[in-house]
Amino acid sequence: MTTTVIEVPARTGKAVELRAGSAVKLINTRGSQVVDTWGFNRADLSEHMSMEHTRVMLGRVNPRVADNLFSNRRRPMLTLAEDTSPGVHDTLRAACDPVRYKMLGFDQHASCAENLVAALAALGLSAPHSPCPLNMFENCPVGADGALVVVPPPVKAGDYVVLRAVIDTIVVFSTCPMDVFPTNGADKTPKPVAYQVLPG
């Protein structure tokens, strides 16, 4: 069974419903694009993918292929089933939001935090709060002194990850609109990505 490839335009968000056992392939169509990613238990949105629980459960800052991504109730929610990129992802950084852009001098600027809200609203849903996302493809190494500096992602056009649902999960993707820092490449230009649901 072939399913449609759906584009997520630059600077926007999209929510995807995954049944347990099915998966979503997230394709970095043009390369260098960071995708803030959230997971919510379909039956109870107060259970969500949690970076601070995932780090403890994995004993590692960043997930690798075959790792589970855990919820705030320490349940496996998604599995990072495949990754053709160099495997650089971030679990440390809050989603960008209007306050951040205001501090950077922009009164009107798309943000991942707003994209999350809008993507869930398109399904008639709202999350009780805004969890820290898994920043797929974001390159923010931890310096020896603990410094965090975002540098361009080592991701080429066509690289993809596959997330498999362990439980019925709403996955939300946001193509990060950051154009002040090289979050989305040295050209500082947000780009679209695409996804495809893979039935279980």
Distance, in Å, from the CA atom of 67 to the CA atom of 120, rounded to the nearest integer, reads 26
Q: Is 143 exposed, middle or buried (0-12, 13-18, 19+ CB in 10 A)?
A: exposed
Residue 146 makes contact with a second copy by CB under 8 A: yes
Residue 126 makes contact with a second copy by CB under 8 A: no
Could you say which of 50, 111, 183, 184 contacts a second copy (CB under 8 A)? 50
Binding positions for a second copy, 159-198, rule CB under 8 A:
none
From the list 177, 174, 197, 200, the residue with the least C-alpha distance to 188 is 177
Residue 11 makes contact with a second copy by CB under 8 A: no
Q: With CB under 8 A as the contact rule, which of the stretches 30-38, 47-55, 161-169, 186-194 interacts with a second copy?
A: 47-55
The site for a second copy, by CB under 8 A, has a size of 31
Residue 107 makes contact with a second copy by CB under 8 A: no
Distance, in Å, from the CA atom of 15 to the CA atom of 150, rounded to the nearest integer, reads 26
Residue 125 makes contact with a second copy by CB under 8 A: no
Distance, in Å, from the CA atom of 136 to the CA atom of 157, rounded to the nearest integer, reads 14
Residue 92 makes contact with a second copy by CB under 8 A: yes
Could you say which of 45, 55, 76, 151 contacts a second copy (CB under 8 A)? 55
From the list 67, 130, 122, the residue with the least C-alpha distance to 99 is 130
Between 66 and 149, name the residue whose CB sits nearer to a second copy.
149
Task: Give the strand pairing for 44-48 and 169-175.
Answer: unpaired
Other CB atoms within 10 A of residue 186 CB: 9
Could you say which of 6, 94, 118, 180 contacts a second copy (CB under 8 A)? 94
Residue 151 makes contact with a second copy by CB under 8 A: no
Distance, in Å, from the CA atom of 117 to the CA atom of 126, rounded to the nearest integer, reads 7
Q: Dihedral of CA 11/32/83/65: which sign?
A: negative
Between 43 and 147, name the residue whose CB sits nearer to a second copy.
147
Q: With CB under 8 A as the contact rule, which of the stretches 21-29, 30-38, 122-130, 152-160 interacts with a second copy?
A: 122-130
Binding site for a second copy (CB under 8 A): 46, 50-53, 55-56, 59-62, 72-74, 92-94, 97, 99-100, 103, 128-130, 132, 142, 145-149
